[in-house]
Amino acid sequence: MGQRKTGPWAAVAVGLGAVAGGLPAFHRALPDLPGRPAGLLETFLPWFGLAVPVLLGRALLRRSAPAGYAAVLPAAAWIWLFGGFLLPGPAPDRAPDLVAVQHNVSDENPDPAGTARALAATGADLIALEELTPAALPAYTAALAPQYPYHAAVGTVGLWSKHPLADARPLDIRPAGLGEDWNRGLRATARTPRGQAAVYVAHLPSLRLGAHGFGSALRDESAVLLGKALAAEALDRVVLLGDLNSTVDDRGLAPVTARMTRPARDFAFSWPAALPVARIDQVLTRSATVVRVRALPGTGSDHLPVAADIRF
């Protein structure tokens, strides 16, 4: 059977392959245009790999060698950027110094007590929660108290700890123009068996995707304020737990990520819980290393909890 004529499809496939491979590989070179398309792209970088099976499938259907070759660039880019996520990590040579859980529990969670019990069952040293409501806070506190006797809450964020907490105070990350009742940050000192660590809990403003593009101005402004607070932190060891409303690849979070160590990279997606496509719930450190991060089973929230093993 003879080879089918490829026609213009081969050129289209080559163009698609170049875009699907080039954009993830060189996303930092993209300019900041109105509507922030680069930030949107950086939020979903791993999903550019879906271009590979699409291009290969079309190449097989059309029996087009050039179209098949077009899949090579996005495949190579994906393997370079994310292939390591699929490899088993090295066996730990010792237990982590600290285990932290980060969870946006949702202000519409129908079972706060059940969510709290599920988080307590992880045995983590620290549990950070966002979207706490005044009505639900007592349920979380009561369910967590037996294992987490130390806690602090400010506005809609809270921190529960097995270790003593000191110097707990609000963290001002409120963008200009938002009301004074917008309190979504706190800072405390955790006195762990391995020494003190400053623990930050933050919930940055949500992003909006609309007719004018990727609306991230409030999130970006809040990230700048958080970055300044981290820069001014006197303690060497810092643990940041929070719903940062994007991935660590998003340039809008650069004021934060530039001052912290990124966690071990993997596909621990946390949002949305029904079909997770990105990890927007983060555990970042300074003078410490997140050696393992994983998404936990769903609760009554639209986010999945994220657990991280930390070494000082």
Q: Is residue 193 part of a domain?
A: yes
Single-letter amino acid, residue 59: A
Asked whether residue 19 falls in the same domain as residue 156, the answer is no
The pLDDT assigned to 282 comes to 97
pLDDT confidence of residue 1: 43
Task: Quote the pLDDT of residue 260.
Answer: 97
pLDDT for position 206: 92
Inter-CA distances, 122 with 34, 115, 293, Å = 43, 11, 13
pLDDT value of position 271: 95
Give residue-wise pLDDT tens across range 102-130: 999 999 999 999 999 999 999 999 999 99
| CA distances, 83 to each of 75, 86, 275 (Å) | 10, 6, 21
Number of domains in the chain: 2
Residue 176 lies in a domain: yes
- In a domain? residue 4: no
What per-residue confidence (pLDDT) applies to 107?
Answer: 97
Query: Among the three residues 40, 56, 86, which one is the final residue of a domain in this structure?
Result: 86
Last residue of a domain, one of 41, 66, 86: 86
One domain, residues 20 and 78: yes
Residues 73, 125: one domain? no
CATH number for 293: 3.60.10.10
**CA 305 to chain CA centroid, nearest Å:** 11
For every residue of 172-235, DSSP letters joined together read: --PPTTS-TT---EEEEEEEETTEEEEEEEEEPPPPEEETTEEE-HHHHHHHHHHHHHHHH--S
Among 31, 64, 86, the domain-final residue is: 86
> pLDDT at position 295, please?
97
Range of the domain at 43: 9-86
Task: Identify the pLDDT of residue 2.
Answer: 47
Low-confidence ranges of the chain (pLDDT < 50): 1-2, 5
pLDDT at 272: 96
- Tell me: do 66 and 198 sit in the same domain: no
pLDDT of residue 7: 60
The per-residue pLDDT for 13 is: 74
Name residue, tokens 């966690």: 263
CA distances from 239 to 132, 148, 186 (A): 20, 18, 12
The pLDDT of residue 58 is 74
How many of the other CB atoms lie within 10 Å of CB of 50? 12
Q: Is residue 235 part of a domain?
A: yes
CA distance 128 to 298: 16
Token pair of 309 as six digits: 């093993």
